[in-house]
Structure 1
Amino acid sequence: MRRITLLLLFVLVTFFAQSQTKNLFDGKSLAGWYMDVPDLEADSSLRIPFIIRDGLLVSLGTPQGHLISEAEYDNYTLELDYRFAGKPGNCGILVHASTPRALYDMFPKSIEVQLMHSNAGDFWCIQQNIEVEDMEARRGPKENWGVNGKKERRIKNLTDDSEKPLGEWNHIKIVCDADKVTVWLNGDLVNDGFNATATRGKIALQAEGAEVEFKNILLTEL
């Protein structure tokens, strides 16, 4: 009887966890997302930088901009797989995104989790801030810290070898819990931030120069 009760409890817990998980990409469309691409807005003849290809969500890299979730989220785990489809380069995932084009008339107010090749897991502060342990070692002198283009916005990640070889899929997990943002890359803890100045907002994927493929974009409420 006890074994049956425990099994039933496990099934219920599993069902509840699955019911709280949302697939943010259906493999067929950009439903639930919208684009903010300044150059495309100015010239509609330019190519669309976010497309569906072979069941994957692809950021072509240019023209530069963002693919932004229609919904806002707080207290969640975001997991996805990504890889550079060609040459390595720059890209990122923005959490707690809000005011559009708040930096350089391009980047929404947010906290970026960097995907740039060889720097994946860095934080970049975009008109929002976050703290980590050993801040001066990882961000530079305190007097240079800031959240706009004239200040030191980068907070280096904790590891040097967590990325897979080019062409292979990387798995990233981002946990946003109240004012904390914690990042794992391929199972390694690569950043652990606290005292974030935002705790809720949209999620955005970047087009920032390099072609990147995404799949298995899952959000689980905490």
Structure 2
Amino acid sequence: MKNCIALLVLAAMLLVQANATAQTRSLFNGKDLSGWHVDVPAMDTDAKAINPFIIRNGLLVSLGTPQGHLITDAVYQNYRLQVEYRFAGVPGNCGVLVFASTPRALYKMFPKSIEVQMQHGDAGDFWCIVEDIAVKDMETRRGPKANWGITEGKERRIKNLTDTSEKPLGEWNSMTIECVGNTIRVWVNGDLVNDGFNCTAAKGNIALQAEGSEVEFRKVELTPIKKLSPL
């Protein structure tokens, strides 16, 4: 009888693990940009402007210019996003935008969202883009409260918790972003680098940037979750 119970428990555990694995899916297929759409302002008026987002050797690549965004067709909430990326050539700038909605809401370029910074040396910063989020030690990490804001000319950057988590240029970095309810937590190569709460959004599209630098992505995977990982 005990052996039967043990087998049933083991079977149930394996089923849970299998379901969890089945829920994780890549947001790009290694062949084309199915499931995404491009928003690059320069492409509206310049017939010679290229699409800066391509698939190359199975990698999703942001060429950096012209600047704009690659945005999921689907809206997501309550998930873990795992991204593996590298600046293969020179240090540069890019970002992952979560809870994205209204396009070109800031500087006629950036969609309304919270940006999780990937810029070399600053990975894990939050940037508020017509959405807001709070963190502990807010004034230390964002500057004087009188200057805070979510639009042009305001203090929109919220500094990450560590600048020592990134790998050397050319090596692959792992970034994990958990969005549950109005909370966003970010890990870079296993280090907790930001923990935000009271976000003014709880769902939206996911976007990747073309922001001046070539970036390669070898993983963009999403797993639905109900609870944040323990700290």
For Structure 1 versus Structure 2, the TM-score category normalised by the shorter chain is over 0.9
Q: TM-score, normalised by structure 2?
A: 0.94
Residue identity matched to 1:65: G
Residue in structure 2 matching 1:43, options 18, 42, 46: 46
Residue 5 of structure 2 is matched in structure 1 by 2
Residue identity matched to 2:51: I
The answer to whether residue 124 in structure 2 is matched with residue 108 in structure 1 is no
- Equivalent runs, 1:33-112 vs 2, <5 Å: 33-112=36-115
Residue 206 of structure 1 is matched in structure 2 by 209
Give the aligned length. 222
Percentage of matched positions with identical amino acids: 63
CA contact (8 A) 1:94 1:205 kept: yes
Distance 2:106 2:92 in 1: 21
The answer to whether residue 157 in structure 2 is matched with residue 154 in structure 1 is yes
Structure 1 alignment gaps of length 5 or more: none
CA contact (8 A) 2:123 2:163 kept: no
CA contact (8 A) 2:87 2:214 kept: yes
1:7-53 Cα deviation digits (max 9, x unpaired): 20121111211232221011111110010000022112122200011
CA contact (8 A) 2:167 2:173 kept: yes
Which structure 1 residue ranges, 4+ long, deviate > 4 Å from structure 2? none
Question: Pairwise CA RMSD of aligned residues?
Answer: 0.8
| Structure 1 residue 118: Cα displacement | 0.1
Partner SS state of residue 96, structure 1: strand
- Equivalent runs, 1:123-202 vs 2, <5 Å: 123-202=126-205
Distance 2:180 2:94 in 1: 23
Larger radius of gyration: 2
CA contact (8 A) 1:139 1:153 kept: yes
The answer to whether residue 123 in structure 2 is matched with residue 120 in structure 1 is yes
Distance 1:45 1:136 in 2: 45
Distance 2:77 2:154 in 1: 27
Partner SS state of residue 81, structure 2: strand
CA contact (8 A) 2:135 2:197 kept: yes
1:164-191 Cα deviation digits (max 9, x unpaired): 0000000000000000000000000000
Partner SS state of residue 11, structure 1: helix
Residue identity matched to 1:154: R
Structure 2 alignment gaps of length 5 or more: 226-231
